[in-house]
Amino acid sequence: MDTHTPSTSTSTTSTHHLSRRALLATAAASTLVAVTAPSGSAASGSAKRVAPAPETVALPDGLRPEGITSGPGTTFYVGSLADGRIVTGDLRTGTFEPEPLLPGAPGRSLRGLYWDERSSLVWAVGNDAEGARVWAVDDTSGAVEFTTAVPGGGFLNDVVVSERAVWVTDSRVDRLTIIPLAADGTPTGAGPIFRALGGAWPSDPTGGAINANGIRLLPDGDLVLNNSRVGGLWQVDPASGIATEIPVRGGPGIISGDGLETDGSILYNVRGTGTNAVSVLRLSPTATGWSAKWAGARIDETLDVPSTATLAGGWLWAVNARFGVASPESADYWITRLPAV
């Protein structure tokens, strides 16, 4: 996720800023379109109908968004790097609620978010004034139902929920943080446990770079991670932490990466190959693990350094972190709608 230090210098994308404001002003205009799957996919040549939705969804000015997740219907939740608030709204109508689900707090910064339908909890990871921390927030009331400090945590970045655990990447510590869950998705109350990343994982002895970033579940229950420092995709055994590189066939190669999102055998890698693009890969099982085939990229004129993405209403939605924008404390931010496979 966050792989840049926001700057107050003039943004190199400022020439597009006014046109993007114009796009945001008309974001409520909806269309119903047919999306055709990329050539060579299982659905190649067939149309996929999706819900009407605006091209962009405005977010509060100065939010400095990073993580996004979607909940019931087309509800979305976006976390703030600026003050750790969580804002919510509806992707279909292109609106956000005037009051945040979780109010901001001094010293708090949120990155990855993940909604679990079993418990109706929005899991959030990041840091507060005391260090690395994980939160679980009720998706309706905004009550913090669970929180825990993460001893030794450096830069908690992304999160995914499996049947019995919450899994968190730490971009500056080569390990996964694990929060145990009951069968209904609620936290057991146990503190965090840790799984060191080993095997072929490209560790960084300096601890200063952004390494492990996005995380999602593979169809067989293993984990998939990307690495912002060296690129590539990595399959991780959740029981041992042993990592194996996932070979990628075709395309320009995965040279970076921020948030990940999956839909069955489809993997979306935000900024995997370009500053303003979402890479699309098709996963296939092999005798020894998983492989990936390049299936193109999603690009749009309204993308401006996206950080994470979520699937809702038949669309892929990427939140624009706009790292490097001038005056981030007052800049405008938005979510971009992209065609899903």
What Å distances lie between residue 181 and 39, 164, 175, CA to CA? 40, 5, 19
pLDDT of residue 52: 87
Q: What is the pLDDT of residue 50?
A: 78
Predicted confidence at residue 172, as pLDDT, reads 95
Per-residue confidence (pLDDT) for residue 51, from 0 to 100: 78
Q: Give 26-38 pLDDT, tens digit per residue.
A: 333 332 222 222 2
| Average pLDDT score, the chain | 88
| pLDDT on residue 43 | 31
Q: What is the pTM of this model?
A: 0.87
What are the chain's domains? Answer: 14-339 (2.120.10.30)
pLDDT-above-70 percentage for the chain: 86
Residues 121 and 5: their CA atoms lie apart, in Å, by 29
CB 76 within 8 A of CB 319: no
Q: Does residue 259 have a pLDDT over 90?
A: yes
pLDDT confidence of residue 283: 98
**pLDDT above 70: residue 199:** yes
| SS3 assignment, position 262 | strand
pLDDT for 121 equals: 98
Task: Give the integer Cα–Cα distance in Å for 233 and 248.
Answer: 8
Distances (CA, A) of 322 to 128, 156, 167, 169: 22, 20, 26, 22
| 321, pLDDT greater than 80 | yes
Specify the pLDDT at position 323. Answer: 98
Mean pLDDT across 192-202:
97
**Which of the four pLDDT bands, split at 50, 70 and 90, describes residue 208?**
confident
Q: Locate 99 and state its tokens.
A: 């009051």
Nearest to 155 by CA among 136, 172, 141, 143: 172
Instruction: Encode 17-42: b = buried (16+ Cβ within 10 Å), e = exposed.
Output: beebeebbeebeeeeeeeeebeeebe
Question: Where is 18: in which H helix or E strand?
Answer: helix 17-25
Give the model confidence (pLDDT) of 78-130 as tens digits: 999 999 999 999 999 999 999 999 999 999 999 999 999 999 999 999 999 99
271: pLDDT confidence band, cut at 50, 70 and 90?
Answer: very high
DSSP per residue over 98-133, as a string?
A: SS-SB---TT-EEEEEEEETTTTEEEEEEEETTEEE
pLDDT at 46 over 90: no
Instruction: Kindly state the average pLDDT of the residues 129-137.
Output: 97
Question: Residue 1's pLDDT is what?
Answer: 55
pLDDT at 205: 81
> CA nearest 124: which of 62, 178, 187, 79?
79
Average pLDDT over residues 10-39: 33
Residue 24: what pLDDT?
41
Closest CA to 290 of 260, 263, 316, 266: 266
What confidence tens digit (pLDDT) does each residue in 61-75 have?
Answer: 999 999 999 999 999
pLDDT at 49 over 80: no
Q: Percent of the chain beyond pLDDT 90? A: 82
pLDDT at 315 over 70: yes
Average pLDDT over residues 275-285: 98
Higher pLDDT: 14 or 264? It is 264
Mean of pLDDT values over 137-154: 98
